[in-house]
Structure 1
Amino acid sequence: MLKKMLLTSLASLCVLAAVAFAVPAQEKRVHHHADLSDRPHDDAQGYQYDHEAFLGKEEAKTFDQLTPEESKEKLAKIVDRIDLDKDGYVTHSELHYWIKHRQRRYIEENVNKHWNDYDKNKDGKISWEEYKNVTYGYYLGEEFDDIDDKATYKAMLARDERRFKNADKDRDGIATREEFTAFLHPEEFDYMRDVVVQETIEDIDKNGDGKVNLDEYIGDMFTPENGESEPEWVQTEKKHFTEFRDLNKDGFLDGNEVAHWVLPGEVDHADNEAKHLIHETDTDKDEKITKKEILANWNMFVGSQATNYGEDLTRRHDEL
């Protein structure tokens, strides 16, 4: 049982859980920021995109079952939570923070699910010693001597410790919930960017020179078996390596080039949605919105049985 826990360390489990669907081999290293909703972002077709962006997909479903009065009442309470400085206005930065927080709930829920397994002294924090002892404890006393691949497990421990220390912003050896989330999901935090890049290089760099050559890059995606022919996409990836990934054309990917590949600069969907909601509801054009302005446009932020009925009629009309 303990060996199974070690083999499937929590860090690996949580990263895998965040991937909701299988990705092509050539995309598995790239950390894309998903859109806020699968619905079309077209207000003429309804506000379901905005509802899922503002509330999160699961909470949006809950609001869909409410009456308009219940929706507005709950929305008013949410506005109070969004207004962090309690000045009576919701600014772009406050709305942006709220939307980002809602979209990260699946990660936070995953952390919460496993939190008590690691917070052994129940102090609301997880120390490196707590994590190490739960994940590796049985084997530490024997220095991994009873494990066949001792070097691999020692490398896993060293890698976890390095990532934990990087996530631990104040360097006190104890992770808050936010820091532990950064440990488990470093791709979600800007200050963990270097860790993601370093781990990616270590995974792919087979000759240990600290860089990724073309053979290593392709080998991470495709290894032929029993005379298997090379898929067409492999030739495309070789071209991408030469023309797009290897920016300085030296035949290798260094840290900066790997970062450009696996952590691409992408559209901040939460930022765009915050701007959109403010633009549509800011009647006095002071670039911030009040609770009154939000409630006057409540059906853009949240759903209800009534708004769903209206959107259903619109869809049926379009289909006809």
Structure 2
Amino acid sequence: MTLLKLLALVCTMLVVALAVPAQEKRIHHHADLSDRIHNDDHSFQYDHEAFLGKEEAKTFDQLTPEESKDKLAKIVDRIDTDKNGYVSHTELHNWIKHRQRRYIEENVNKHWDDYDKNKDNMIAWEEYKNTTYGYYLDEEFDDIEDKATYKSMLIRDERRFKSADRDGDGIAKREEFTAFLHPEEFDHMKDVVVQETMEDIDKDGDGKVSINEYIGDMYTMEDGESEPDWVQTERKHFLEFRDSNKDGYLDAGEVATWILPGEVDHADTEAKHLIHETDTDKDQKLTKKEILANWNMFVGSQATNYGEDLTKSHDEL
């Protein structure tokens, strides 16, 4: 292989590493709104991160109380999308969901220019394919050891791209490309998530998952090693819960129930909590006055940080 080809191969491998989503835990739970404990008697840090997002909450912690309240007042105007002077549950719910999706949007923005080669603010399948697999395509995958794997990756990417491309024009707008990179976040991509999971685990390709394939996806026993208790528990879960029709296998529907369980809507719960704690006249909606009167529940500042530090110091004594 020439030096030029070697460099091209290394560069392309780096692009593929970025482009192909990393193996994730099989069960796709939406993350909670914060890693903090939700205990308002101790601190409002959970509420701050839920309302602002983790990174933005940190910036508010550096502000004075006056600066923090001023910024909060401007945020309230943004949340009140119908401009009727009230923040409804729906508006607050949508705002919290939007803030929590920022990490996904930032990930898409980070890679967008890598694929949007003609700078038309859209990504065609050909743009994505050529950027990710271009060198391999020119060489018909002959220069790589695991040719079959990379061919299957290309097929899988194309199928996922077509599922994300809802209008079927072969071009992904930003929301469609977001669904391509993060299919677990979109209801219309759930079939793709299940299909890809089935393909990963179903090693013999018979269209169903046996108990050995199920365990083998999580654990490989070494010679002379006894099976850990957690593996035996997983075997029991397979037989008693996962395999609901008791035929000894998991079909696509049973895999979907396993990896896409019913979700708690954390954003909805937090919106209800903030309204309950702040709605002084109990009309189930918030005015800017009500929110600013309880500003430290929504946002932090140097003052609220100081109060939290005092609480921590007291607890540590």
TM-score (structure 2 length as normaliser): 0.91
Distance 1:316 1:2 in 2: 51
Contact 1:167/1:192 (8 A) holds in 2: yes
Cα 1:229–1:6, aligned 2, differ >3 Å: closer, same or farther? farther
2:13 matches 1:4? yes
Distance 2:169 2:289 in 1: 44
1:284-295 aligned at under 5 Å gives the runs: 284-295=281-292
Instruction: Give the match's secondary structure for 1:89.
Output: coil
Question: What runs of 5+ residues in structure 1 fail to find an aligned partner?
Answer: 20-27
What is the one-letter code of the residue matched to 2:129? K
Contact 1:165/1:171 (8 A) holds in 2: yes
Instruction: Give the match's secondary structure for 1:44.
Output: coil
Distance 1:54 1:11 in 2: 31
What is the one-letter code of the residue matched to 2:20? A
CA shift, 1:168, in A, is: 1.4
- In the other structure, the counterpart of 1:25 is none
- In the other structure, the counterpart of 1:115 is 112
What is the one-letter code of the residue matched to 2:222? E
CA shift, 1:87, in A, is: 2.4
CA shift, 1:142, in A, is: 3.3
Question: What runs of 5+ residues in structure 2 fail to find an aligned partner?
Answer: 1-9
1:43-54 aligned at under 5 Å gives the runs: 43-54=40-51
CA shift, 1:257, in A, is: 0.9
Distance 1:178 1:243 in 2: 39
CA shift, 1:151, in A, is: 2.1
Distance 2:187 2:302 in 1: 39
4+ runs deviating over 4 angstroms: none
**CA RMSD of superposed structures (Å):** 1.7
CA shift, 1:9, in A, is: 4.8
CA shift, 1:55, in A, is: 0.8
- In the other structure, the counterpart of 2:6 is none
1:1-320 aligned at under 5 Å gives the runs: 1-5=10-14, 7-12=16-21, 15=22, 28-320=25-317
Which has the higher mean CA deviation after the structures are superposed, 58-67 or 89-98?
89-98
Distance 2:168 2:43 in 1: 48
What is the one-letter code of the residue matched to 1:97? N
Contact 1:167/1:179 (8 A) holds in 2: yes
Instruction: Give the match's secondary structure for 2:277.
Output: helix
Deviations 1:111-162 (A, max 9, x none): 1111111111111121111101100111223332333332221211110011
- Alignment size in residue pairs: 308
Distance 1:6 1:74 in 2: 39
Contact 2:16/2:133 (8 A) holds in 1: no
CA shift, 1:317, in A, is: 3.8
Distance 2:224 2:85 in 1: 68
Instruction: Give the match's secondary structure for 2:162.
Output: helix
Distance 2:33 2:99 in 1: 10
Sequence identity, in percent?
79
CA shift, 1:318, in A, is: 4.4
Instruction: Give the match's secondary structure for 1:8.
Output: helix
Distance 2:43 2:229 in 1: 41
What is the one-letter code of the residue matched to 2:31? A
What is the one-letter code of the residue matched to 1:224? M
Distance 1:64 1:271 in 2: 25
CA shift, 1:75, in A, is: 0.8
Distance 1:189 1:75 in 2: 30
Instruction: Give the match's secondary structure for 1:306.
Output: helix
What is the one-letter code of the residue matched to 1:297? N
Deviations 1:265-297 (A, max 9, x none): 121111100110111112222222122221111
Distance 1:105 1:38 in 2: 16
TM-score (structure 1 length as normaliser): 0.91
Distance 2:128 2:235 in 1: 40
Contact 1:91/1:287 (8 A) holds in 2: yes
What is the one-letter code of the residue matched to 1:280? E
Which has the higher mean CA deviation after the structures are superposed, 92-101 or 200-209?
92-101
What is the one-letter code of the residue matched to 1:4? M
Distance 1:77 1:34 in 2: 27
Contact 1:95/1:274 (8 A) holds in 2: yes
Contact 1:2/1:138 (8 A) holds in 2: no
Which has the higher mean CA deviation after the structures are superposed, 293-302 or 137-146?
137-146
Which has the higher mean CA deviation after the structures are superposed, 129-138 or 91-100?
91-100
Instruction: Give the match's secondary structure for 1:179.
Output: helix
